[in-house]
Structure 1
Amino acid sequence: MKRYLYLWHRWLGIVACLFMALWFVSGAVMLYVGYPKLTPAEHLAHLPPLVLDEEGASLGQVLVAAATGQPPTGIRLLTVAGAPRYVLQYPGGRKVAVDARSALPAPPTDLQQALAAARQFAPGVAASDRGVVEQDTWSLSRALDGDRPLHRVAVADAQGRLLYVSGSTGEVVRDATANERAWNWIGAWLHWLYALRGIGIDGAWGPIVIYLSLGATLMAVLGLAVGVLRWRFGRPYRNGSHSPYQGFARWHHVGGLLFGVLVITWVFSGLMSMNPWKVFSSARPLSLAAYQGAALDAAAFPLSARQALQRFADDGLRVRELEWRMIAGRGYVIGFDGAGHTRILDMTTDRVLHQFAPQTLQQAAQAMAPEWAVQAEQLQAYDFYYYAREPQSMLGHLEQRLPVLRLRFDDPARTWLHLDLYTGAVVGQLDQPRRASRWLFALLHSWDWLPLLGNRPLWDVWMLLFSAGGLLISVSGVVLGWRRLGRSLRPGRRQGDRG
């Protein structure tokens, strides 16, 4: 039995150790340089103030112009390529843009519109066309599916950005700086095995990553077992050491004993990041439509966009984007400025609010699960399940503002909701499977633990030391595997040497 334990570890390691070495190197890069994305803060910071010189199209006209046979899930108004434009989002991610002056649907983005959008994003610098793509190395995210095809425009700003402009709305939806593009070749591109994407096997990419991670996890568990079995805790070996190995083998043995448990948790949590076999998917997520209480309809918004802008200006907010929301069947317009500050215009009372009353959002959320009791609490500080990360991290695009309203439902899935008091948005829905993902992925993989995150550089030291230990195990495993393969493939090898 022990022989098979060694053999399984050896041959799984020959395959997996090279990938693990790449994962540890690229993971260390990703601590500081993430995969390119346009965060909400960057989006707002690069928008000009929203100006409506004339009354323009009414919301009713916009909805008619964009009609797709179903109500939109979101409506925004912002400046696109120098002109005000409504952007409507529909189920499935489809987006439709409508000119705010003429109420005409915007045509598909052409080269001139893409260049104008880039100049608006980065004014005063040269912009040059880099072609149209469905996807490329820096635009593989499924979140961009509603914007494809994408126009690429390079701008000669200090960051050397490559901008991606939506083919459906004309907005800049992603930026990739020269620094991000350079580091990501040994960062996220390597870490997520994106070399397998875009070569005709995209459908196999997920299963390949899942089963490779599963094999690496099994290899690490077996390796720790072998390491313990081969370590003499009492009388040392003939060489005077508690390990029977020399050279790289000894480094591999000792490194595995020191960092083996951490390596197992890291590889396993990487597997969990893929949501294998949908183990973290919610069986019955609560309905956001019930939270809205009614479809987005012009009748719920008696004030025009121009009037809303004036209300916000009177309250001291210089708006860059407007968003229409339905909450419990009532209409609200949210105004955003360039720094992400917000105001709420209640269309029923014509009052400008700085925050929603918690009771308003709780009553709206109760409609999502009316048969179940709910407990409410207002968080004034981050905790294990609600916290912020740096923009470059995988979850860095999520806005986690404080205070936030947490609702705990007594439904079978024990669902928690986090509701943003500044916008009324449902920023998180955590049921039992998703809370399990918080433990098995976010905690074990990137150590999203407040005592570490709140005490930088303690988190950095821990993550880099951990990565160095994993790299030691992996690189020494690669060397040992290469040597073993060389002996196995050597011509004239004796039969007795096999195994």
Structure 2
Amino acid sequence: MKRQLYLWHRWLGIGLCLFLALWCLSGMVMLYVGYPKLLPSEHLERLPPLAADCCVPLDTALAAVDGANPVGVRLTSVAGAPRYLIDRGEGPLLAVDAQSGRRIAGISAFEALESARAFAGNTAVGYRGLVQEDAWTFNHALDRDRPLHRVQTEDDQRRLLYVSSHTGAVVRDATAHERTWNWLGAWLHWLYPLRGGPLDGIWGTLLIYSGLLGAAMAALGMAVGLLRWRFRRPYRSGSRSPYAAGYQRWHHLTGLLFGVPLVIWAFSGAMSMEPWGLFKSRSALSPAALRGGELTAEAFPVETTALLRRFRQGGLEPRELEWRLLGGAGYVVATDATGASRILPMARGAQPLERLPAALLERAARAMNPTAEARIEWLDRYDFYYYSRAEPSLYSHLPRRLPALRVRFDDPAATWVHLDPHTGALIEQSDSRRRAVRWVFKLLHSWDWPPLLAKPLLRDALLMLFSLGALAVSLTGVVIGWRRLVRGKRRARRNPLPAAAEAEAEMK
């Protein structure tokens, strides 16, 4: 049995130690430089204020996309000009010129350049073609905007800007700094060199099984390391490790010290791909029930110019407006350049509010599942399941404001929802399976544990320490594996020794 453990660990290590070393190295980079994304704050600060007489009424915009059945409408600016973006719930957003009321059917290269130039502060830009995806746009967040116009800025940051071919909005920016470090970071960590080529179809499968086999390899190594450690009587060299010096000794010692985080990271990395449908949601709740009806112009009797005037009178300079339904009633949310927002009910004489009334939001939430018992909880601080992350994180673009409403439904899927009282938006919907991802990935892989998140310097120091240790385990394994292959070839030429006998000889 001991010999089998040794052989399995050896050959898995020869095949996977280099992968684990790259994962450790790239993970340390990702701790400080995340995959390129466009944060809400970056988007809002580049928008001009919406002029009081900027736009045609909402009903004119909806008439331009007759039959669209929208679930939400947003008024923003593209290339410095106001534009309605109409969300149908799935598929690309529909765009309407807010000044003329004309439907925009597609975005040309010239229009993409104008949008990018306005985003970049009127700096010089150059067109780099239309792409479906590339190294900085692999994730699914941009699926509704593909294909993407790619534009290069000529400023100091040398940004690559990606412009939606459906709306003309800039949906991602990747600075030269981000791109340079991401070749060593996310691009390696997620095995993106395998994307877009002949292995693209099995990329996810390779990532899953490489992680699982890496975890098995590290676990076997710890088992072998403990078996070979002399707890009572040292070896003749005086060491409790059979290796008195060299890479094997360092591999043995660092493996015992840092093997556990290596196992955990390899396993949780595989689970991040959510294999075999393990974490597929079973919840039957629909966001449509929260809205409580269809979004029509009749639900919003206040025209756009009057809306802008009311928000300005309330002390907010809107950069964007968003039309929403909640419990069948209409609300308009205004957001300024800092991300601050106000919400205006469509009831007669209503004034902009900082937050919706608690009773109203709770009633709308219960309507999502009226047959199940609902436990209401108002969050005024972050906890294990609701928290924010710093910019390098994969999830830093997702807003997590406080206070927030959590509703736990006593349904078969144990569904939870989080709602934002500032906007009435459904922030997140999860069931027991989706919350399991919080444990097997976000906790185990990213160490998203509230006490550590509250002390980011300590968290970073611990992550770096254990990453360096895991990197040492992997790199010494690479050297040992390479030497074993070279030595094996030499022995095979001289006098072949059966692998099992050779392993047994090395174990003595």
Assess same fold via TM > 0.5. yes
1:95-147 per-position Cα deviation (integer Å, ceiling 9, x unaligned)? 21111122221131112211111121122421221222111111112111111
1:162-311 map, 5 Å: 162-245=160-243, 246-311=245-310
Q: Which amino acid aligns with 2:499?
A: R
Measure the CA separation in 2 of the matches of 1:410 and 1:54: 47
Give the match for residue 23 of structure 1: 23
Give the match for residue 450 of structure 2: 450
Whether the aligned pair in 2 keeps the contact of 1:320 and 1:338 (CA below 8 Å) is yes
Give the match for residue 333 of structure 2: 334
CA RMSD in angstroms, aligned pairs only = 1.5
Give the match for residue 494 of structure 1: 495
Q: SS at 2:60's partner residue? A: helix
CA gap of 1:93–1:466, structure 2 versus 1, over 3 A, is farther
1:166-221 per-position Cα deviation (integer Å, ceiling 9, x unaligned)? 11100000000110011000000010001111114322111110111111111111
Give the match for residue 312 of structure 1: 311
The alpha carbon displacement at 1:356 in A equals: 0.9
CA gap of 1:321–1:48, structure 2 versus 1, over 3 A, is same
Unaligned runs of 5+ in 2: 501-508
CA gap of 1:116–1:13, structure 2 versus 1, over 3 A, is same
Measure the CA separation in 2 of the matches of 1:226 and 1:212: 21
Q: Which amino acid aligns with 2:202?
A: A
Q: With structure 1 as the length reference, what TM-score do the two structures score?
A: 0.97
Q: Which amino acid aligns with 1:172?
A: V
1:330-354 per-position Cα deviation (integer Å, ceiling 9, x unaligned)? 1111101010000001012433111
Measure the CA separation in 1 of the matches of 2:230 and 2:62: 75
Q: SS at 1:407's partner residue? A: strand
Measure the CA separation in 1 of the matches of 2:211 and 2:71: 37
Measure the CA separation in 2 of the matches of 1:109 and 1:360: 40
1:342-421 map, 5 Å: 342-349=341-348, 350-421=350-421
Measure the CA separation in 1 of the matches of 2:240 and 2:358: 62
Measure the CA separation in 2 of the matches of 1:416 and 1:388: 18
The alpha carbon displacement at 1:63 in A equals: 2.0
Runs of 4+ in 1 over 3 A off after TM superposition: none
Measure the CA separation in 2 of the matches of 1:297 and 1:488: 74
The alpha carbon displacement at 1:298 in A equals: 1.3
1:380-436 per-position Cα deviation (integer Å, ceiling 9, x unaligned)? 111111111012211111111111111111112222211111111111223211221
> Which stretch of the first structure deviates more once superposed, 480-489 or 443-452?
480-489
CA gap of 1:55–1:271, structure 2 versus 1, over 3 A, is closer
Measure the CA separation in 2 of the matches of 1:237 and 1:101: 84
> Which stretch of the first structure deviates more once superposed, 441-450 or 153-162?
153-162
Q: Which amino acid aligns with 2:46?
A: H
Measure the CA separation in 2 of the matches of 1:9 and 1:346: 64
Measure the CA separation in 2 of the matches of 1:438 and 1:54: 44
Pair 1:117-2:118 in alignment: no
Measure the CA separation in 2 of the matches of 1:114 and 1:470: 45
CA gap of 1:415–1:284, structure 2 versus 1, over 3 A, is closer
1:126-137 map, 5 Å: 126-137=124-135
Unaligned runs of 5+ in 1: none
CA gap of 1:399–1:167, structure 2 versus 1, over 3 A, is same
Measure the CA separation in 2 of the matches of 1:24 and 1:325: 44
Q: SS at 2:90's partner residue? A: helix
Match of 2:150 among 141, 149, 152: 152
Whether the aligned pair in 1 keeps the contact of 2:282 and 2:431 (CA below 8 Å) is no
Q: SS at 2:59's partner residue? A: helix
Measure the CA separation in 2 of the matches of 1:497 and 1:471: 32
Q: SS at 1:372's partner residue? A: coil
Measure the CA separation in 2 of the matches of 1:408 and 1:400: 18
1:1-58 per-position Cα deviation (integer Å, ceiling 9, x unaligned)? 22111111111111111000000000000000000000111111111111253552x3
Give the match for residue 81 of structure 1: 79
CA gap of 1:198–1:269, structure 2 versus 1, over 3 A, is same
Measure the CA separation in 1 of the matches of 2:160 and 2:89: 29
CA gap of 1:103–1:493, structure 2 versus 1, over 3 A, is farther
Measure the CA separation in 1 of the matches of 2:227 and 2:441: 29
Q: SS at 2:102's partner residue? A: coil
Measure the CA separation in 2 of the matches of 1:190 and 1:54: 46
The alpha carbon displacement at 1:59 in A equals: 2.0
> Which stretch of the first structure deviates more once superposed, 431-440 or 197-206?
197-206
Q: SS at 2:445's partner residue? A: helix
